[in-house]
Amino acid sequence: MSPMIEPPSSLLLVVGREDFTPPTTFGGRACAATVDCIAVGVRSVADGPTLASFAESARPGLLVLGRFTVESEGLLSLRDVHHREHDACGVEPGLVDVTVLGDVDAEPSEVVFVVGPG
């Protein structure tokens, strides 16, 4: 079951390591990444919770917000900015491809992280 999240600062993080480096800017996009962290700006908590999940394949009807390759120690963790873990996905250690999908192209209320090998 996909968690409904009310992230502080309207930001979700997918991290591949405990000691990760978040992006410093979004450059006007809905999401951005570093070598070990993907950040996604989602809708404000005042507008309601965000549905977030990991998946192995894309779901019709969602838009591609970004495609990234991140380094993982064997687990991708979905967190908020206070480092609370909301979901996790086991992966092979090393590089992992992640496609970020959303229901809209800015401040989505649904986000799916499609995980594949690097």
Reported as a single tens digit per residue, the pLDDT across 59-96 is 899 999 999 999 999 999 999 988 899 999 999 999 99
Reported as a single tens digit per residue, the pLDDT across 20-71 is 999 999 888 999 999 999 999 999 888 999 999 999 988 899 999 999 999 9
| Distance (Å, whole) CA 86 – CA 58 | 20
| Distance (Å, whole) CA 92 – CA 63 | 26
Domains and CATH numbers, the chain: 4-117 (2.60.34.30)
Find out whether 40 and 12 touch, Cβ atoms under 8 Å. Answer: yes
What is the full DSSP assignment across the chain? -PPEE--GGGEEEEESSSS----S--TTSSEEE-SSEEEEE---GGG--EEEEEESS--TT-EEEEEEEEEESSEEEEE-TT--EEEEEE--SEEEEEEEEESSSSS-SEEEEEEEE-
